[in-house]
Structure formats: C-alpha cells, structure tokens
Structure 1
C-alpha cells in the first residue's frame, strides 16, 4: 500500500516511535548494484544473513531478552475486537524477534506456510526493512513458532534470507515478506516440525477471515496469541476487517477457513496497517503477482 499521508498513520509496526528499547547497532543493507540497461529490474529484494550472523542471532535472543522486550512497551488495553485464541495450539504461528534499523529489540508475528523447501515463513515487509529506505534493514532475526507465555515448544529458527518486493524497498508499496529459515538444532526443516498453512494468491476479496498475532497491548504484552474475526472487504486498494490487534501483531496471518480443531486454514494476507490508535480496523495486502514472486523466492532459497 502506498505510504501516503493517511497510510503513514495506519502503518502497523512491532513498536511505535518513542517506545523502542535500548538498541544495539544500526543495520545497513549492502549497496544496491546498478542494473544493466538491457535487464529488467528484479521485482524482489532479498536480504541474506551469514552463518555467523545467524548463530549470533540465536545466541542473542535468550529467554531473558525475550521477556524483557515484552515488558519494555505497553500499547494500552487490548481492544474489544481482539480475543485470545482458544483452539488447538497453532504451531505454525509464532513471534518473529529482531533488532530493527534503530538498533532496538522488537518483534512481529509470522506464519509457516507450505513450500518447496519446507522452510518458508510469511510476514509483513515492514518487519524486515523500513519502507522507502533501502539501507534501513533489520538484523538478528529469529522465528519462534507456537510461542506462548515464555514457552518455545518447537524451538527457535534463525532467518537466513528475507524477500520483500522491490516496490516496498523503494516506495513502501506491497507490505508482504517471505522468510527462509534454517534447520533447527536437530537438523529438521521447519514444516516437518510444526506443519504448515496453505497459502493462496489472486484470491477474490471477501468471506470470513481470522487475523492472528502477538500485539503489545495489555495484559498480554506479546505473550499470548490473539485473534480478530470478520468479513474481508476492499478498501484503499487493500483488504480490511474489523480488528483491535495492535503493534506486535504485524505480519501475523489472515487465515480463511480456519478450523480451530485442526489448526488449519489458508493464508490470504498478513497484518499490515491500522486505521488509528487504538485501532478499529486491520488492513492487509491483496496477495497478487508480486506477492507470489516474493514467496517463490523464499521457497526456493
């Protein structure tokens, strides 16, 4: 979604300005190389993390640090449209921890999806890098599926690559990202451990949707998976549902046909932006051709 003057106020982030915890280092992406005149620009931008960086990320996110980041911000009371998820535990949905471009510890939400490499995770582009700013990227990124009140029942997966639309990097358009994660400590692929959600592209907007995430509202403060349910409608070139999820729920899935007994649904978008604070609406991108290219890059990495 274009970063217009109105959408700036809706942009959903793991943190809001002025609420960052003490930071570490400012992250810079590698310089963008010039594209030969005869070649079309690559529509997908990919950040890669070295083996050394991934090992450091796993060491960085200790249980104590995770606990501290949740306590470091309070976005106010959880709104009336956000409810605790009470079905079969969703092993596929979890918290995505990272150090943002300001050097602050923070988090988003993310989801394991079906993929050729069994290692793809969907989230929002603004959970990977700042829009319209090629050099402001996030570091020390790890995915904790099934996170619940300090427990990490399925382990922690370091992110080795993060794909976003080039349009997000340059113009804050298309707030969708696909991550590729490492094997776990037992050399298992992500979806062999937690399963996966189906994912759909070019799906008509409409029908009932469940949006999920780990917002920084109280009393949960990112420790518990919350949800909103509603009928998706088109608005401002995106899709929207009534919702009170707030910062920290960014990147969490929109699941169509969610069966709370099996924990299965189809991912049709991710939490992207809010109408206001406190929120009454959640916006998500319509997953089209660009989103499919981002996903394909991650599932083949």
Structure 2
C-alpha cells in the first residue's frame, strides 16, 4: 500500500538518504553444485549490503521489543493530518520531473530499461501451478489470524515513527531469502523529496500481538530492480532480502519456504496473508485476481481491510492448508498505486522473468 502519506511525518523530522555501497563475494550453491555465478554477471540489479557483524545485528533485533513492535500499529486518521508542507525551496517545483512523475504500467511484456538481466538457472520451484480461474469475487472478507510461519512483519523506523511491511520466505538454494515489495526497500519518504533507500528492517516471521515465535531476523543484503530505482516503475515493484543466520540456522530451515513461479497469468485463485498497520494481527484473504485494465503485469483483486502495511504480501496459488501454511507465490502486492489507495481493492505485480533473475542474483550475490 502507498506509504508516501505516512512517511510525511518522519520526513519533516529530518530524515535524510542513507549512503550505502559495497559488493560482497558470491558463494557457490550447495549440491547439485553449479558453477559459481559472480554478481558482476548481472545488470539491472540494485544491491544494498547491510551488516554481518553479530553485535550490530543483535542490537538491531533487540531494538524491536514487544512494545516497539506493537507501536508499529498506526491508527487510522484523516490523510490531511499527516500531510506536511514542503520547506521553502524544496517544493515539487524544485524536484526534477523524473522524480515527480511515476510512469504508468506497461501494456506489453517487453522488459523496461533497467530490468534485471543475467544468469537465471532457476525460474520456478515447487509444485506445478493449479488451474487458473476467470471468476473475480465482488468483495472478499479477511480473517484475523495468529500468523503463518513463513510470513512475517518487516519492522523499520522512519525517524520517530515505527512502520512495517510484509515479507515472506521463498524456496531458494541459499535458504535465506524473503520476498517483499520494491517500495518497502526504495521509496519516497514524502511526495516532495526524491526516492531514497528505506531504513533497514528486521523480519519477524509469524508475528502477532507483540510476539516473535520464530525469532527476529536481521538483514544481510537487499535487492531490487534498477527499473524500480530509476523512476519507481510499477512493473518492477518487487524486492528480495537476504537474511543473516540466527543461532547458526537459515530462516528457511526454521520456518519452511514457499514455492514460486513466473508468468502465472492474470486469472488466479489465491491466498494472501499480510500485516495491515492498523492492527496487531495479520489478515488472511482468499480471493481471485484478474488483469488490471490493459496493463500486462498488473493484477487487481478484492480483499477487505487491506490497509497500509500489507505491501509486499505474496499472492499464493495452491495454498495447502492453514496448518502447513504453504503455497506457490506468483505476485507481490504492490505495483499500481504501490498496491492501492483504498482498503478494499488491491493491486499486485505478476512475477516474470525479470523477477526470477532478481531472485537468482540474490542467491548468487548474497
């Protein structure tokens, strides 16, 4: 969901861009052992390394106490109450047009400038896709739950404000990758500032009511498409995070991982679990998708009460059962309007070859 309005408060408090750089070596995958792929083989990929220092990682996790996580629940309020005036000289007229205008989604499936490209040995993982459906339900109720092991809240601070997105563990050879929205990693803190890297989050799988049943996982590296960074192209509003180990284990070994696939088509029956920031439990929705207008990669679907915070939730085909809580990811909640400007109609970016390449770059680049 669109975070720009919520970020107005913290931007006025003096948030500045973080200067990040550096490249880490790429390890080989475990058996069957392919040839190592250097990260330099990829183009159209933005890579933000964080920290592997145990003390720094522990401090980041400790910051998110149960009280702090509960405080990330934002009460609804009039949009005008969080709209902030731009300081003198920093209004929209002072911002270059490329930062002021987000492009429309594409009507063709051709890659945009800055689309991820490079060695892609894995385009899909897990079970075969289920049969598609052409039926879109008029309105779909959501159900509060106590969470799923592979789905969690991404907590981050924007100045004094606690915020969050949603992240989900996906199956990869490295067993330490979660998926979210591109705008949860790179976005505008306010409508009158250029986009910048978002604050580093902490991932809490299965989060509910201040609890972290599977631990708090810190970030090693973040990945998103150059096509998203360049001008917030809504067809590339997906991102992936490599997590540090916790107590000597990879996150996928602790909570499991979801299958994923590309090019699933526009009509699908899906399950979605996300963390709206106006409540302290995740909401689960079973719904159907359809193509949004003439846009090639944009899906639209109804789910009640999907407030800001569900950004980055994955659309799951073949969700097997609430107990196991696993499915096959086909899309990220985001894209058009960064996922939607209303609580009952949402949008998602269909995963495609560029998504697969970005996942591969995260696995190989670590």
User: Do 2:45 and 2:226's aligned partners in 1 also have CA atoms closer than 8 Å?
Assistant: yes
User: Do 1:120 and 1:180's aligned partners in 2 also have CA atoms closer than 8 Å?
Assistant: yes
Aligned to 1:65: 68
Q: How much is the aligned-residue C-alpha RMSD, in angstroms?
A: 3.0
Structure index of larger Rg:
2
Aligned to 2:154: 96
TM-score, structure 1 length as denominator? Answer: 0.80
In structure 2, do the counterparts of structure 1 residues 293 and 23 end up closer, same or farther at CA, with 3 Å as the change threshold?
farther
| 2:188 is aligned with 1:126 | no
| 2:157 is aligned with 1:167 | no
In structure 2, do the counterparts of structure 1 residues 49 and 31 end up closer, same or farther at CA, with 3 Å as the change threshold?
closer
* Offset from partner CA, 1:95-151 (integer Å, 9 cap, x none): 001134x66431100100101110000000111111698861123311000111111
Question: Could you tell me which of 306, 315, 331 is aligned with 1:269?
Answer: 331
Q: Distance in 2 between matches of 1:134 and 1:299?
A: 29
* Offset from partner CA, 1:45-81 (integer Å, 9 cap, x none): 01110234534422322222112222x44369xxx74
In structure 2, do the counterparts of structure 1 residues 56 and 247 end up closer, same or farther at CA, with 3 Å as the change threshold?
same
User: Do 2:269 and 2:317's aligned partners in 1 also have CA atoms closer than 8 Å?
Assistant: yes
Worse-matched range after superposition: 16-25 or 122-131 = 16-25
In structure 2, do the counterparts of structure 1 residues 292 and 207 end up closer, same or farther at CA, with 3 Å as the change threshold?
same
| Superposition deviation, residue 201 in structure 1 | 1.2
User: Do 1:255 and 1:267's aligned partners in 2 also have CA atoms closer than 8 Å?
Assistant: yes
Q: Distance in 1 between matches of 2:197 and 2:141?
A: 30
Kindly report which structure 2 residues correspond to 1:79-94, keeping only aligned pairs within 5 A, or say none.
81-86=140-145, 90-94=148-152
User: Do 1:112 and 1:122's aligned partners in 2 also have CA atoms closer than 8 Å?
Assistant: yes
Aligned to 1:178: 240
Aligned to 1:44: 45
Aligned to 1:207: 268
In structure 2, do the counterparts of structure 1 residues 61 and 119 end up closer, same or farther at CA, with 3 Å as the change threshold?
same
User: Do 1:84 and 1:224's aligned partners in 2 also have CA atoms closer than 8 Å?
Assistant: no
Q: Distance in 2 between matches of 1:25 and 1:138?
A: 10
In structure 2, do the counterparts of structure 1 residues 82 and 73 end up closer, same or farther at CA, with 3 Å as the change threshold?
same
Higher strand share: 1
Runs of 5+ unmatched residues, structure 2: 23-39, 79-138
In structure 2, do the counterparts of structure 1 residues 63 and 91 end up closer, same or farther at CA, with 3 Å as the change threshold?
same
**3-state SS, counterpart of residue 156 of structure 2:** strand
In structure 2, do the counterparts of structure 1 residues 69 and 14 end up closer, same or farther at CA, with 3 Å as the change threshold?
farther
Equivalences, count = 274
Q: Distance in 1 between matches of 2:204 and 2:317?
A: 23
